Structure formats: C-alpha cells, structure tokens
Amino acid sequence: MKFLDLAKVYIRSGGGGAGCVSFRREKFIEFGGPDGGDGGHGGSVWAEAVEGLNTLIDYRYQQHFFAKSGQPGMGNQKTGKSGDDIVLKVPLGTEILDEDEETVLADLTVPGQRVRLALGGNGGWGNLQFKSSTNRAPNRANPGQEGVERTIWLRLKLIADAGLLGLPNAGKSTFLAAVSNARPKIADYPFTTLVPNLGVVGIDGKEFVMADIPGLIEGASEGRGLGIQFLAHVERCKVLLHLVDGTSSTITKDYRTIVSELEAYSEVLGDKPRILALNKVDAMDTKQISDRRRALEKASGGPVHVISGVAGKGLQDVLRALIAEIEKGNAKPEEIAPWRP
C-alpha cells in the first residue's frame, strides 16, 4: 500500500428541498385550506477518525465528495426526504486544514471522533407554515437553503510515542527492526527509508509505538534531500531518539546538522526531549568509542548512549530511557514532582 500524508479534497453539503404550495381538495370538506409540506434537509459532510488506516491514499483517486440534497415537500402535509450525509473516513492523527493550509479546523486523534465539515441546507417551509388567522390561504413557500461548498486539506501526522531521527544511514531502520515488530527496508545506501514506518516496542512488560522517518541532511529545511516534509510525523511524539553514526569522521557536525534542522522546522520540535545515542559501535574499537562518545557529550551537553542495532548492544538501556520519558509525558501535571533547587 502506498503512503500518502497530504491530500486536497473538495466537499459540498446538500441543499435543502423547496417547500410545497398545495391546497386540500376533498369531498365534503368545504374549506380545505393549505397542506403544502416542508422540504427535506440537505445532507452534511463529516470526517471521522477510524482505526486500521495509516495512509490517505484513498483521497488521491477521489477528491470530490458531494452530499445529497433534500427532496421538495409535497401536498397532504408531506415533508420531503432529507439527503444522506457523507462521512470521510480518515486515519487517527489526521488534521483537517482550511484551504489556506494553515488554519486547523480539527485534529482527529481518538477512534470514532467526528467533526462536521459542511452543514446541509435547511428545507424550505411549505405554505402550510404560513397559514394564520388573517391569511387562511397562503400562496407562498420558501426555497431550500443552499449547501456549503469548500476546499479542505487532510494532513496525516502519525501517532507515536517516540520518534527516530538521524542522517541517512545512521542505522534508524536497523534499530527499529531490532527492537520492534516492524520490518522496514534495510540497505547500505542512503535514503533507504522513503516513507515513515511504525513499530511496537516492548520493554519490561510495557509497550510503546516508535516512528522512523526518512533521514535528514544539511539544508533539509530548504528542500534538500527529502526535505522536512516527514518531520510532522514526529511532532506528536513525547520523546525523540537521535542516532549518530559512530563510524562517521564528523560525528559532532552530524549531530549539529540534525539539531539545526529540527530548530528550523519548529520551536516545539526543537524543544522536545531528546535522547542521544552513538550507533554502530560494533564496527569500532574501544578507543574510538571512548573518544567519539566524549566528543558527542561535549557537543550535546548531555549523556550519550552507546549502542549497536546489528549486535543488539545497549538497546535495553536506551529503551528504558525512552519509556521513562514517555511515562513522564503521559503523567498529569499534578503527578510530576515539583522542581526544587
């Protein structure tokens, strides 16, 4: 199945049916009077978050969704049938944006969560509604209200607890395959990962979801490489795992490149909790590991985990650090111990 995380959709709600002008003409009823019914309501357009979907690919092949209009009213006080609603089924984590691609109309993150995007038009009144003591035979009815037509954008942001970051070939896919049930493509050339991958990770009887996105390169915020289009998929994460290729001769530059691109994308993402890990230590000797770990600690100002996705070294410690940050993010404000100097 192809992955698509952005789609433009055209929607229109149904118009209301027109009211009816009608008069009763029955035997033995001397003054029949008006009996025109109201028009039916037009159908509305809804969006609903459902489980089991992880892409917006369906909206590449169908972009127009028009709800049915209501039927006109009829004589004998019959109200017209209302138009059927249309429901757009979207994956969890889908944002609905206005035509300007900036105004967020809704953020659907809970299964079954719904939002009405276009309200159907009201049906017009029939002439029965206009009957009064001074107007016993009204000869007028209202037309139905027109539907609403608009253009919206659907933008998917995958829901994950932890996100993987790093340059191409930093070992992100290998790490995800080693710690989860995911089976991403793994190869010895850059940009092996072209779309985000999700995996369920288990540690100490607890589970969390990890997202792996395509690697970033210097200038990604300016559109180089695959750009930063996939960074939206780690915006919802509570913690980021930054992997640095230990076999690189420019590890501090590699580290700063990713940090710079995060900060260029958004302040929120740049300020997220990050755990730093020196990867591929199975291909390094003890002195190299020590020197490069020390250089990374100096550049980042924090601790650095030493791991190997291929050899399985240090993975448990990193996962425990991730789950600790995730639980801290899940805790309610009153559950977090107050800071004391």
Residue 227 has pLDDT above 90, yes or no: no
Q: Residue 166 annotated as binding?
A: yes
Asked if 35 and 79 count as a contact pair (C-beta separation under 8 A), the reply is no
Distances (CA, A) of 202 to 92, 207, 210: 22, 4, 10
> 77-89, pLDDT tens digit by residue?
899 999 999 999 9
Burial of 112 (0-12, 13-18, 19+ CB in 10 A): exposed
Do 151 and 31 lie in a common domain? Answer: yes
* 170 annotated among ligand-binding-site residues: yes
Query: Is residue 74 domain-resident?
Result: yes
**Final residue of a structural domain among 123, 156, 189:** 156
| Residue 152 labeled ligand binder | no
Per-residue pLDDT, 221: 58
Q: Do residues 44 and 61 both lie within one domain?
A: yes
Q: Is there a binding annotation on residue 91?
A: no
Residue 273 among known ligand-binding residues:
no
User: Taking 70 as the threshold, does the pLDDT of residue 338 lie above it?
Assistant: no
Q: Is 280 annotated as a binding residue?
A: yes
| C-alpha pair distances (Å), 11 with each of 32, 83, 85, 95, 157 | 43, 15, 12, 16, 22
b/e string for 228-245 if b means 16 or more Cβ within 10 A?
Answer: bebbbbbbbbbbbbbbbb
Share of the chain above pLDDT 70, in %: 89
Same domain, 149 and 194: no
Let me know whether 95 and 201 are in one domain: no
For residue 172, say whether it is annotated as part of any ligand binding site.
yes
- The answer to whether the annotation marks 168 as part of a ligand binding site is yes
Q: Pseudo-torsion of CA 136, 138, 139, 140, nearest 10°? A: -170
Calculate the CA dihedral of residues 88, 93, 94, 96 and round it to 10 degrees.
110
Higher-pLDDT residue of 197, 40? 40
Residue 213 counted as an annotated binding residue: yes
150-156 average pLDDT score: 93
- 341 occurs within a structural domain: no
Q: Is residue 15 part of a domain?
A: yes
Share of the chain above pLDDT 90, in %: 34
Known binder of ligand: residue 169? yes
Question: Is 246 part of any known ligand binding site?
Answer: no
Is 281 assigned a ligand-binding role in the annotation? yes
Is-contact 156 2, C-beta < 8 A? no
pTM tops 0.85: no
- Does an H or E element contain 328, and which? helix 315-330
Does 50 appear as a known binding residue?
A: no
Would you state the pLDDT for residue 340? 37
From 112, 137, 156, the end of a domain falls on 156
What is the count of structural domains for the chain? 2
Looking up residue 29, the CATH number of its domain turns out to be 2.70.210.12
173 is in an annotated binding site: yes
For residue 340, is it within any domain?
Answer: no
Distance CA 212, CA 162 (A): 9
pLDDT: is 264 or 46 the higher one?
A: 46
Answer yes or no: is 142 a known binding residue: no
28 lies in some domain: yes
Are 119 and 177 members of one domain?
no
- For residue 234, tell me if it sits in a domain: yes
Give domain status of residue 196, yes or no: yes
Q: How high is the pLDDT of residue 332?
A: 47
What's the chain's average pLDDT? 85
Co-location of 137 and 283 in the same domain: no
Note whether 120 and 166 are same-domain residues. no
Residues 31, 102 contacting (CB under 8 angstroms): no
> 251 and 225: one domain?
yes
pLDDT category of residue 341 using cuts at 50, 70 and 90: very low
Q: Say what the pLDDT of residue 219 is.
A: 63
- Kindly report the CATH number assigned to the domain that includes residue 228: 3.40.50.300
Q: Which of 121, 156, 191 is where one domain is finished?
A: 156
Same domain, 193 and 228: yes
The response to whether 2 counts as a known ligand-binding position is no
| Average pLDDT score over residue span 324-336 | 65
Residue 252 burial (C-beta neighbours within 10 Å; 0-12, 13-18, 19+): middle
For residue 184, the model assigns a pLDDT of 64
Q: Do both 107 and 140 map to the same domain?
A: yes
Query: By mean pLDDT, which of 5-9, 55-59, 97-101, 192-196 is the weakest?
Result: 192-196
Higher pLDDT, 228 or 37: 37
Higher local confidence (pLDDT), 185 or 44:
44
Q: Is 307 annotated as ligand-binding? A: no
In a shared domain, residues 237 and 261 = yes
Q: Mind listing the pLDDT tens digit for each residue in 65-124?
A: 999 999 999 998 899 999 999 999 999 889 999 999 889 999 998 999 999 999 999 999
On whether both 318 and 189 belong to a single domain, the answer is yes
- 255 is in which domain, residue-wise? 162-335
Confidence band for 335, pLDDT divided at 50, 70 and 90: very low
> Quick check: 336 pLDDT over 50?
no
Domain assignment present for residue 267? The answer is yes
Which residue's structure tokens are 């942001």? Answer: 157
117 is in an annotated binding site: no
254 is in an annotated binding site: no
Residue 234 marked ligand-binding: no
Whether 129 shows a pLDDT value over 80: the answer reads yes
Is 215 annotated to bind a ligand? Reply is yes
40 carries a ligand binding annotation: no
